[in-house]
Amino acid sequence: MPDEKKTKEELLAELAGMDQQIVDLARTVTKYQRLAEAWRDLWEQFAAIVEGFDGFIYICSQNYEVEYMNQRFIDRTGYYPLGQKCYKALHDRDDICPWCVNDRVFKGETVRWEVQSPKDRRWYYVINTPIKHPDGTMSKMAMIQDITESKEAEKARKLAEEKYRGIFEHAVVGIYQSSADGRFLSVNPALAQIFGYASPGEMLASITDISRQLYVDPRRRDDFSREMRDEGLVKGFEAQMYRRDGSRIWVAINARAVINEEGEVQYYEGFVQDVTERHQGES
């Protein structure tokens, strides 16, 4: 009987110990459930950020295999090329892209660049970033935005500037831009020639006060400024002015005020013609 009683006591002690183990196990399970929920929430937040990016994202391994691709990129590619070579999936190439920067990225460098894809001939801005994994391996993450429209707009802007520059440089009439307080901002060769200067640069360096240095009667400059303020432009405005050598000429000016979004005058721009012969014929 004593042995049986002792066995029962031992059994109760063991049961009590098992109860504590169950409690400890339940706490551990709860802890890992919470960690799993936290990781799930974190992943959902990451996925929301990635999918909210207005562009394409993909991750590839050091042997050029696609490890991840966001939905926008999947939609562009037409399928999920998981495990396929990035150069095939992205650019429909059979070998490594000649512009590839993976060797730099896998040395730890973040590389930013622009590239035109041979697959669709569109321009993309790419940020390539190295990703270091806990096991010592690395991947490359690329964030890509389509910049074709901005590239085309930039090209159109440059063409327009070149066209304007050609007109500006080769026009037979004087063309200028000036500040409202009477300083030239730019003059073309024809205007420099009208006033007897060897080049636009020489005229810009010499004339720092249009009213005082060019107008024979500075009050005409006041008339010009007043008309600009009231109307925003002048047409057929005539005034007598000095040339570089001190001689006098008559000029006719057509100009307008260039206004910014706040309604402020940025500068004046206009055309100038030498009408001296007409005035001499009238005298």
Which pLDDT tens digit goes with each residue over 145-187?
Answer: 999 999 999 899 999 888 888 888 999 999 999 999 999 999 9
**Section 2-12 average pLDDT:** 60
Can 54-152 and 171-282 be said to share one CATH topology? yes
Q: Are 88 and 94 in contact (CB under 8 A)?
A: yes
H/E element holding 115?
strand 111-116
Q: Are 123 and 116 in contact (CB under 8 A)?
A: yes
Predicted local confidence at residue 270, as pLDDT? 94
The Cα–Cα gap between 89 and 130 comes to 20
More confident position, 187 or 10: 187
**Section 55-80 average pLDDT:** 91
Confidence of residue 115 (pLDDT cuts 50, 70, 90): confident
Give bridge partners of residue 53 from the DSSP assignment: none
Contacts 24+ apart (CB under 8 A), 243-251: 243/194, 243/195, 243/196, 244/195, 244/196, 244/197, 244/206, 245/196, 247/196, 248/216, 249/194, 249/195, 249/274, 249/276, 250/274, 250/275, 250/276, 250/278, 250/279, 251/174, 251/194, 251/275
Q: Where are the domains of the chain?
A: 54-152, 171-282
Task: Say how far residue 280 (Cα) sits from the centre of its chain.
Answer: 55
Which DSSP letter does residue 172 get? S
Predicted local confidence at residue 1, as pLDDT? 45
Give the pair of three-digit tokens for residue 73.
Answer: 């990129």
Give the pair of three-digit tokens for residue 17.
Answer: 């110990």
Confidence of residue 46 (pLDDT cuts 50, 70, 90): low
The answer on pLDDT for 213 being more than 90 is yes
* Among the four given CATH numbers 2.40.30.170, 3.30.450.20, 3.40.50.620, 3.30.450.40, the one describing domain 171-282: 3.30.450.20
The answer on pLDDT for 2 being more than 60 is no
For the stretch 23-40, what's the b/e string if a residue is b when 16 or more beta carbons lie within 10 angstroms of its beta carbon?
A: eeeeeeeeeeeeeeeeee
For the stretch 109-145, what's the b/e string if a residue is b when 16 or more beta carbons lie within 10 angstroms of its beta carbon?
A: eeeeeebebeeeeebbbbebbbeeeeeeeebbbbbbe
- Domain 54-152 grouped into CATH 1.10.274.10: no
Predicted local confidence at residue 47, as pLDDT? 66
